[in-house]
Homo-oligomer: A and B are copies of this chain.
Amino acid sequence: MAEQLTKEEILDAAEQVLRRFGPEKTSVVDVARALNISHGTIYRHYPSKASLREAVAERWLHSIISPLKDVFQKDCTSSERLHEWVKTLIHIKHSLVKEDPELFTMYTTLAEESVEVIGAHIQELVGQIIPIIQEGIANHEFKTANAEETAKGIFMATARFHHPAHAKEWASPTIEEEFDLVWKLILSGILK
């Protein structure tokens, strides 16, 4: 029975235990107990507590950004698509904080423990901006530029609105207005 456990099932259990006890108090033994298996079985899939936490953070980061894919289906200009993509990313983050600030803090804390997990997350996001820039260059909407550099620049320039370190500021009544000012500046920098 224990042998048939998938990685997904272990992560589901780890997530539940982490939510219940918090990252400080959660051990691999707790997760094993929740699954009614020996902790050795978990170690076969995840060689350390750190790698289990990393995998939980990775799966969470990957799942929260899945709504971004819809932006690529829309029939619109490249600057509209870019705006929609960034606004969707911001909306996802702000909603998660609003719904359950403690849970958001827990997951971001787990993620921040691993430079690799954060690096891969940023790369995945920037990797979604690049084709939008390329599309805008191809249809003569955007100035010709290095699409990858522009994508990175846009991601970094909007950090205040999607980076979890700013979560406390997202409740500010002027946050939308501030984003619009940054967006105006970015658009002015890329539009032909």
Binding site for B on A (CB under 8 A): 143, 145, 149-150, 152-154, 156-160, 163, 165-166, 178-179, 181-182, 184-190
**Distance in Å: Cβ of A2 to nearest Cβ of chain B:** 39
**Distance in Å: Cβ of A112 to nearest Cβ of chain B:** 8
A153 near B189 with CB under 8 A, answer no
A156 near B160 with CB under 8 A, answer yes
A172 to B143, CA, bound (A): 30
Copies of this protein in the assembly total 2
Question: Contact partner of A159 among B143, B166, B181, B190, CB < 8 A?
Answer: B166
A166 to B184, CA, bound (A): 24
**Distance in Å: Cβ of A175 to nearest Cβ of chain B:** 10
Query: When A149-B181, A166-B165 are in contact, do A186 and B157 touch as well, CB less than 8 Å?
Result: yes
B152 near A178 with CB under 8 A, answer yes
Question: Contact partner of A157 among B145, B152, B157, B190, CB < 8 A?
Answer: B157
A156 near B182 with CB under 8 A, answer yes
**Distance in Å: Cβ of A119 to nearest Cβ of chain B:** 10
A143 to B150, CA, bound (A): 20
A153 to B182, CA, bound (A): 4
Show 25 residue pairs from A and B whose CB-CB distance is below 8 angstroms, ordered by the A residue: A143-B188, A145-B188, A149-B181, A150-B181, A150-B185, A152-B178, A152-B181, A153-B181, A153-B182, A153-B184, A156-B160, A156-B179, A156-B181, A156-B182, A157-B186, A160-B163, A163-B166, A165-B166, A185-B186, A185-B189, A185-B190, A186-B189, A187-B189, A188-B190, A189-B189
